[in-house]
Amino acid sequence: MPVTSGSAKWSGGLKDGKGIVSTKSGAISDQPYGFKTRFEGEPGTNPEEMIGAAHAGCFSMALSMILGQKDLVADEIATTAKVTLDQVGEGFEITKIHLDVTAKISGATEDDFAEAAQTAKENCPVSKVLNAEITMDARLA
């Protein structure tokens, strides 16, 4: 199986420092991040939104695979992963991720879709690696 990577460079202190993140593929290259992009809404990225994007993408692909096992093909799966970062004790933790999913799947019943979505939520590789409560709202359009 492939091994891939992401990288980060950081300089400075926590609040005044600046960093950049990149992916091995180059899809993200030297994207700025820092305290202000993470906690104060300044333009740039942060680790939580990248985890959200990874989780949404992984879940959507897993759902597509599970639907295929039922001879169903999605016209569209739109997933947003809302990542909650909370202060816990002296530090911070990602405590929750909520998947918001809307899918268009010709020929799928509500039961087919609900079962497939739940299976994808529990079994996509990113869900398995995260130590956070993962909830979901899934709608068949």
Mean pLDDT of 121-125: 94
For the CA atoms of 28, 31, 33, 36, the dihedral, rounded to the nearest 10 degrees, stands at: -120
- Domains of the chain (ranges plus CATH)? 6-39 (no CATH), 47-140 (3.30.300.20)
Mean pLDDT of 23-43: 92
User: Helices marked H in the chain — which ranges?
Assistant: 35-39, 47-69, 110-123, 125-129
| 72-120 pLDDT tens trace | 999 999 999 999 999 999 999 999 999 999 999 999 999 999 999 999 9
- Whose CA is closest to 8, among 44, 18, 61, 16? 18
